Amino acid sequence: MEAQPYTRTELMICVAARLFQDGTTAFIGTGIPMLAAMLATKTTAPNLVPVFEFGGTGAILEDLPRAVGEARTFHKGLCASGICDTMETAQRGFIDYGFLGGAQIDCYGNLNSTTIGEHDHPRARLPGSGGGNDVGTQCWMTVAIMQHDKRRFVPKVDFVTTPGYLTGPGARQAAGLPPGTGPAYVVSTLALMDYDSAPAGASPAGTCRMRLAATHP
């Protein structure tokens, strides 16, 4: 077979797609996570059950959804309910994976999608949490998908919109976040990263810091 050219973003989507385990439930956000979920259902995880926050569960992803509420998120789906139902399902421990994006991520996997600069007088106002905070709190394992550059991978995020391991070992549980939850992977345009805390949130935890798992070819 002739080699096809590909972009770094396409490679990132392929790496992210392989992280979906077949027969699990996954909360899917807008954009790249949708592409990754769609690819996963057509390849390695045909029985993945995608959950979209405004109520779509178990859609057959034939066309790429462009928003988390559009009809493609419940196309030939198993259930079309509402946001309280999906979020409560996650809060009850039924959602295995959450796929997230953000403007900034730090070494503990905390994500910022709210403001750059000081909150009350921001240099840049970003969209806000949306469902991100709920996903990062309630899903068992979260995967962040990010373009790899220095502005995005920062020592400290300007605003913790969505919890990663917060300030390090034990911080999630001290804050009251559900035990056993936490960031599992980061997929970037250059690499796959995991955290020194396997499995996610387990006790005794490691340093909870992000570390390089594999570089992309």
Partner 1 sequence: MQVLESGRGEMIQPPDLDAFREWNRTEKTRKLVDKRMSEAEAVSRFVTDGCYIGTELYGTVRCPMSLAREVVRQGKKDLRVCGQGVLELDLWLAAGLVKKLDVTYIGLEVYGTSSALRRAVESGQVESCVEWSNGAISWRMKATAMGVPFLPTRSMLGTDTLTYSSAKVVEDPFTGIKVCLLPALVLDVGLIHVHRADRHGNAQIEGISGFAFEMSRACKRLVISAEEIVPTDEIRKYPDRTIIPYYLVDAVVHAPYGSYPGEMAYCYGRDEAAIREWVEMSKTPEGSQAYLEKYVYSLKDHQAYLNLIGQERLAQMVEERERRE
Q: Which residues bind partner 1 (CB under 8 A)?
A: 30-31, 53-56, 66-75, 80-84, 87, 91, 110, 114, 119-134, 137-138, 159-163, 166, 171-172, 174-178
Nearer to partner 1, 22 or 118 (CB): 118
Token pair for residue 210? Answer: 């992000």
Closest CA to 164 of 186, 191, 188, 190: 186
CB of 170 to partner 1, least distance (A): 11
CB of 200 to partner 1, least distance (A): 16
For residue 111, the cross-strand partners are 105, 162
CB of 19 to partner 1, least distance (A): 21
Backbone angles phi, psi at 53, to 5 degrees: -60, -30
Nearer to partner 1, 167 or 207 (CB): 167
Nearer to partner 1, 69 or 206 (CB): 69
How do strand 115-118 and strand 121-125 relate by DSSP bridges? antiparallel
Residues 175 and 201: beta-carbon distance below 8 Å: no
- Catalytic, 88? Answer no
Closest CA to 100 of 160, 31, 4: 31
Nearer to partner 1, 21 or 91 (CB): 91
Q: Of the listed 53, 62, 88, 118, which one is catalytic? A: 53
Backbone angles phi, psi at 39, to 5 degrees: -65, -40
Token pair for residue 134? Answer: 């709920």
Nearer to partner 1, 131 or 183 (CB): 131
Residues 98 and 33: beta-carbon distance below 8 Å: no
CB of 1 to partner 1, least distance (A): 31
DSSP code string of 20-53: SPTT-EEEE-SSHHHHHHHHHHHTT-TT-EEE-T
CB of 129 to partner 1, least distance (A): 4
Token pair for residue 69? Answer: 């509420």
Just list the catalytic residues: 53
